[in-house]
Structure 1
């Protein structure tokens, strides 16, 4: 059984005696605090914090993190106050213990909101001290190693939580040893039979291929020795979940996955890495397109290495990773290497860089937290942000930007700056104009074109990949909706006040504040927003305001704004997110239209002949006269129904004609009426009624078209 003295002996390799004594003191304090408590397995509870500290010792964490590991359950399980820990072991250790304690309530499934709220607490604790999450990862790792005593349903819940959150965070922070073990333990808990079968198959495959692996390893080592290059060749094992995912995602049998042999070459310096790369490319032919230089361009979590795939004897694929010893330490321990080097009184640039990246990532999480509407939305952003693979693109000045696989132009714009993303209107990829939804590839150079007053589009949410872009777009749209709702509410209330020959600007100073107090509202913007969204009736508010006039100022005394009583609200296309166009009748500029005030949506624009207006007319206070602006700069959908002869190339002919008329096809459907005739249901995007008439005339002139009509409802 592992004891505190065994741990102290291990710590002697990198910590001074005084710090080791403090770690031992924390252990004895925890042992006394947990006296009488036992784990589900029956062991004394203190064996758990001791095991967590041992995991951190493997990563050469500092003495404060080790003390926090010893004490991490004391606040939660024994009732010891944070203040008492601070008096005994200092404020930094107490803060670490408190930060880890707040994470113990994270759960999934039925407690999604509680889990999300606690996850936000974790991010705040991480922002103060990144060691909080490292201690928590070690705690979770030991809990996963000892899952055997729990019920099957609880095992699965904890394993799912570990796989979705903690393993991904370990990967994001570059702590690869913990990530791999967490993933394999989670896989074994979620799918025990699959894990067992793959484990047996891996053991069998390694046994049968042992001679081949030894031959390749010795030939690589001989190649280095012959060229006078210092380096150690070691075999690289695939872990269980990695094999399972490749079999599932690539739809390959186990034999094809295991046919790839993996080796790692560890050397002393970067220069030798590139020399070794040349040597192994001379020994075996490289596979085109399978070389990646993560030394020149590190991954987001600080990982650095050269990756290449070679054609071995008989065409057998060989994957080789080449890296320095420091890079190997970084690949295994990630951000924890920061403390490993600090323990030796030197902080290497590679470790410092990893720590800086981690802090930058946490700062990004805090920004997302501030912009998210609630804790569930925030945790959704975080899960989307934990991507394992990255691409690298360039700004026009040559700066490198890291983005997740599948990122788009909009993601790039927001990664440069939120204001750039919000005002983005176009983009050049490698000097050529490209759509904002274009998926990016490594090596591309991007130039974002912005315009003052430009705003994010709701459609962007359907294709952006990064959590930062998604949360920034949602934040901007919420602000945009608020602004436009206030503006619309102002127009609607002024229009209603015109019935009393008044306007908002003419009201006595006390009238509006008095009404706000009655309605329990703080600002006039809140009232106007609720009117714009249809949650309050403008006529009812106008009536109450008119009744607050002094006795010597009758409601009909004013003459300003009287023209508004007879006038209509002017709309200029998508006038804002609170002006929507009905999908039942597809109104176009030039059509006679009327507006209906819908709760939560604002004004919905219908054609005056729309059948759905019949039931809406029962509430005339919610109907508004509308007119079109003269300068509308967007397209509108319209539905057409075409009766035409069935013939080959029908869709291509229609598509060509519509494109030539400067319109776009949004949707097309064909139904056969009989052997000779077909009915084509076509939805187009057009500028206005004149543009639609032009297109319908072109289609009507086709010899095989029998009839064309605009769908009314």
Structure 2
């Protein structure tokens, strides 16, 4: 059992006496606050905060973190307010405790939404002070060690959350020791049967392997001695959960995974790491494709090491990791090693700490862009499980991305604006598609264009959370701006009926509009009109002078001009496929904005009883873009006729989007084509050109 004295003894090795005194004060305060409270296991509640503080002491955390560990359940469980803690122990400690308390609400909620919102709070608290998450991880670790007393379904829920969120966070912060224990305990609670079967198999396998492990180890040690290299060689044991994951992901049997022998070699300095590498490559043949240098290019969480795989005697694969003592400490404690090595004078964040900061900043940015907490947690989960690829910018800077990332992910990683304006990319100086997955070591150059915008199709292939959240955020705000723009044009036309100019409305008239429609602001009203949720004519009537109230429907105003296919809130009906030159009308559809139909479209007949939803529109003289149109071509069946049609259409500068063939009989076929044209004249020229093919019997434009 941990006692306060044993903790004090541990702390005396690295903290000042008055700091230890403050930690003890926090303990006595918590003991009083939790008096009479028991844990499920029957122990006094104070044993839990003390155990959490002990875990943090093992990481050499500072006294404020230890005080927060002692007090982390006080706000939540005893009703003592944050202000009281702030008075007693200072603002910083109170903030830490508050940050950790906010995260504890996870425990009792199973709904995804609630969990996601709490995770958002965690991102905010971590951004203020990264120590919040370290206290939370220590708290979770002790909870996992004492899961025994809980009901099975609660055990499973806590274990699932541990494996999905807390273990990956520990890994992201480079805290390997904590991650391994969280994973193994989470695995045992989530899948007790699988875990016990694997554990038994592992015990047997280890017994059989002992001799071979010792032989390989002594061979490596004697080779290093010959080279005059002082090193510590340790046989590395695979832990349970990683064996289970490898079996599932790589579809390998237990035996295949256990056939690999793993060693870690720890040396004094970086130069020696590379000398050891040469020595082991001389001892056993290396597998060329399996060498990774994480010393020159550290992982995203600050992990550094040389990895190589050798082929030993009888073809046994041997995995070797070579690193210095500091790197080993860093690999096991990650961001906590920052406190281990930190002297009071030096407060600048170092390697892993700076990386953790950067990651948390990224989380904050994602949180601002996300529409909902569930979308945010989805993006974070993508980022928590990265098998990284490392690529280079044209200037040689290294960028880390999750496996499967594309040039679009790279562009957003460089800067959100680069992502938004990206139009093409060069991979190793060759033009490549934006959707091509990147490989480690490639050089990526993004080509941007000032007027470019994100393409909604990118969401089908981007893998990083930042790219996904930035694209979604842009599309949402673009839809918002375009709805407002269209709403303004439509309301402006409706107001012309009453000789009013939308740009010259007085404050009083604007207020009359917003109160009359019960909307919070003019922008919200315009967006509603643009989205088709309100009728512009009805809104304009609010400002109608009494005298014109009756005769106010004489549509004397000019029609709305349609000038491109690109407006998000103006769409073209699929039933009749209007193209520039066709007589058209607009139909206001809720949520979709303005839908353009041909005047002769049959579907408009159904809307004749809602004249207020029909809007007068015209093609702008400058209209541009490609408009899809369907044509029906009856031909005599002969070989190569489709190729001939396609060639003629592309010669006329049109795109074929779809071809569908119906065979009427052995002699004649009907070919339905969907092609992109600029206007009616362009379509007429194409039809004239196709009629010159001798096999063509008749061509018509399909309607409805």
TM-score, length-normalised on structure 1? 0.89
Q: Sort the Cα spacing of 1:711 and 1:336 in 2 relative to 1 into closer, same or farther, 3 A.
A: farther
1:188 partner SS: helix
Residue 282 and residue 702 in structure 1: after superposition, are their counterparts in 2 closer, same or farther (change >3 A)? farther
Residue 152 (structure 1) aligns with: 152
CA shift at 1:441, angstroms? 1.8
The Cα shift of 1:311 comes to 1.6
The Cα of 1:572 is off from its aligned counterpart by 0.7
Q: In structure 2, what is the equivalent of residue 276 of structure 1? A: 276
Task: Give the stretch that moved more between structures: 489-498 or 643-652.
Answer: 643-652
Cα distance, 1:626 vs structure 2? 3.4
Query: Whole-Å Cα distance in 2 between the matches of residues 702 and 314 of structure 1?
Result: 72
Partner residue of 1:623? 614
Quote how far apart the aligned CAs of 1:140 are.
0.6
Task: Name the structure 1 match of 2:38.
Answer: 38
* Partner SS state of residue 453, structure 2: coil
3-state SS in 2 of match to 1:216: helix
Instruction: Give me the whole-angstrom Cα distance separating, in 2, the residues matched to 1:223 and 1:192.
Output: 43
Cα separation, partners in 2 of 1:200 and 1:675, compared to 1, 3 Å? farther
Residue equivalent to 2:511: 513
Contact 1:569–1:624 (CA under 8 A) maintained in structure 2? no
Q: Describe the SS at the equivalent of 2:617.
A: strand
1:390 aligns with 2:388: yes
* Kept in 2: contact 1:501–1:556 (CA 8 A): no
8 Å CA contact 2:490, 2:560 repeated in 1? no
Deviations 1:509-530 (A, max 9, x none): 6423332243344543222221
Equivalent residue number for residue 566 of structure 2 = 574
- Map 1:183-222 → 2, pairs under 5 A: 183-222=183-222
Residue 535 of structure 2 aligns with which residue? Answer: 537
1:47 aligns with 2:47: yes
Equivalents in 1 of 2:287, 2:666: separation in Å? 55
Gap change, CA 1:265 and 1:596, over 3 Å in 2: same
Change over 3 Å in CA distance of 1:273–1:236 after alignment to 2: same
2:118 matches 1:118: yes
Q: Relative to structure 2, which stretch is displaced further, 324-333 or 492-501?
A: 492-501
SS at structure 1 position matched to 2:391: strand
* Whole-angstrom CA distance in 1 between matches of 2:695 and 2:55: 78
Q: In terms of mean alpha carbon deviation, does 197-206 or 502-511 score higher?
A: 502-511
Q: Distance in 1 between matches of 2:670 and 2:148?
A: 64
* d(CA) in 2 for partners of 1:707, 1:195: 72
CA 466–636 in structure 1, closer or farther in 2 if over 3 Å, else same: farther
CA distance in 2, matches of 1:705, 1:240: 71
Q: Structure 1 pair 645/217, CA: closer, same or farther in 2 (3 Å)?
A: farther
Structure 1 stretch 214-223 or stretch 645-654: which is displaced more?
A: 645-654
Name 1:169's counterpart in structure 2: 169
After superposition, the C-alpha distances for 1:576-614 in whole angstroms (9 at most, x for unaligned) are: x21123344444445544322111221123344444333
What residue is the counterpart of 1:94 in the other structure? Answer: 94
Cα distance in structure 1, aligned partners of 2:216 and 2:644? 60
Deviation at residue 220 of structure 1 after TM alignment:
1.6
CA spacing shift, 1:573–1:277, aligned 2, 3 Å: same
How far the C-alpha of 1:21 sits from its partner, in A, is 3.0
Contact 1:107 1:114 (C-alpha < 8 Å) held by counterparts: no
Q: Distance in 2 between matches of 1:527 and 1:373?
A: 21
Corresponding position of 2:228: 228
Task: Name the counterpart of 2:476.
Answer: 478
Q: Distance in 1 between matches of 2:641 and 2:104?
A: 63
Counterparts of 1:662 and 1:212, CA distance in 2: 72
**8 Å CA contact retained: 2:386, 2:401:** no
Residues 349-388 of structure 1 show CA distances to partners (whole Å, capped at 9, x for unaligned) of 9x71211111122122222222222333322322222233
Change (3 A) 1:703 1:14: farther
Residue 622 of structure 1, CA deviation: 1.4
1:30-87, Cα deviation, whole Å (9 max, x unpaired): 2232222111111221221121112112211112211211111112112223233233
Say if 2:516 is the partner of 1:493. no
Q: Secondary structure at the match of 2:234?
A: strand
CA distance in 1 between counterparts of 2:96 and 2:47 reads 20
Higher mean C-alpha deviation, range 113-122 or range 530-539:
113-122
> 2:418 maps to which residue?
420
List aligned pairs for 1:360-509, cutoff 5 A.
Answer: 360-505=358-503, 507=505
**1:134-153 matched pairs, under 5 angstroms:** 134-153=134-153
C-alpha contact 1:49 1:69 (8 A) present in aligned 2? yes
Alignment match, 1:245: 245
Q: Against the structure 1 CA distance between its residues 139 and 685, is the aligned structure 2 distance closer, same or farther, given a 3 Å change threshold?
A: farther
Cα 1:673–1:50 shift into 2, 3 Å: farther
Deviation, structure 1 residue 663 = 6.4
C-alpha contact (below 8 Å) 1:502/1:555 kept by paired residues: no
Instruction: Determine the C-alpha separation between the residues in 2 that align with 1:583 and 1:165.
Output: 45
- Given that residues 266 and 322 in structure 2 are in contact (C-alpha distance below 8 angstroms), is that contact kept between their aligned partners in structure 1? yes
From the superposition, tell whether residues 279 and 71 of structure 1 become closer, same or farther in structure 2 (CA, over 3 Å). Answer: same
- The worse-fitting range, judged by mean Cα deviation, of 38-47 and 461-470 is 461-470
Match of 2:318 in 1: 318
SS in 2 for 1:328: helix
Report if the CA contact (8 A) 2:586-2:615 is conserved: yes
Once the two structures are TM-superposed, the CA of residue 145 in structure 1 deviates from its matched residue by 1.6
* Distance in structure 1 (CA, Å) of the matches to 2:667 and 2:255: 55
Structure 1 distance, partners of 2:659, 2:48, is: 64
1:268-322 C-alpha deviation (Å, 9 max, x unpaired) = 1111111111111111222122111111111111111111112222222221111
Is the aligned partner of 1:297 residue 2:288? Answer: no
Give the C-alpha shift of residue 564 in structure 1: 7.0
| Contact 2:561 2:620 survives alignment (8 Å) | no
Unaligned regions of 5+ residues in structure 1, if any? none
Q: Is the 8 A contact 2:489 2:560 kept in 1?
A: no
Q: Is the 8 A contact 2:493 2:558 kept in 1?
A: no
C-alpha distance in structure 1 between counterparts of 2:279 and 2:313, whole Å: 16
Between the aligned partners of 2:345 and 2:238, the Cα distance in structure 1 is: 33
CA contact (8 A) 1:571 1:626 kept: no
**Secondary structure in 1 matching 2:288:** coil
Distance in structure 2 (CA, Å) of the matches to 1:525 and 1:31: 55
* TM-score relative to the length of structure 2: 0.90
* Residues 446, 709 of structure 1: alpha-carbon distance in 2 compared, 3 angstrom cutoff: farther
Query: 1:227 & 1:454 partners in 2: Cα distance?
Result: 59
d(CA) in 2 for partners of 1:566, 1:484 = 21
Give the Cα–Cα distance (whole angstroms) in 2 for the partners of residues 544 and 312 of structure 1: 87
Alpha-carbon separation, structure 2, partners of 1:109 and 1:683: 52
Cα gap change, 1:348 to 1:284, in 2 (>3 Å): farther
Q: Measure the CA separation in 1 of the matches of 2:237 and 2:172.
A: 21
Q: Does the 8 Å CA contact 2:234/2:265 hold for their aligned counterparts?
A: yes
Matched-pair contact (CA < 8 Å) for 2:516–2:542: no
State the 1:618 CA deviation.
2.7
CA RMSD of aligned residues (A): 3.5
Q: 2:596 aligns with which of 583, 589, 605?
A: 605
Could you tell me how far apart the structure 1 residues matched to 2:675 and 2:87 are?
Answer: 73
Equivalence map 1:78-89=2 (5 Å) = 78-89=78-89
The reply on whether 1:105 has 2:97 as its aligned counterpart is: no
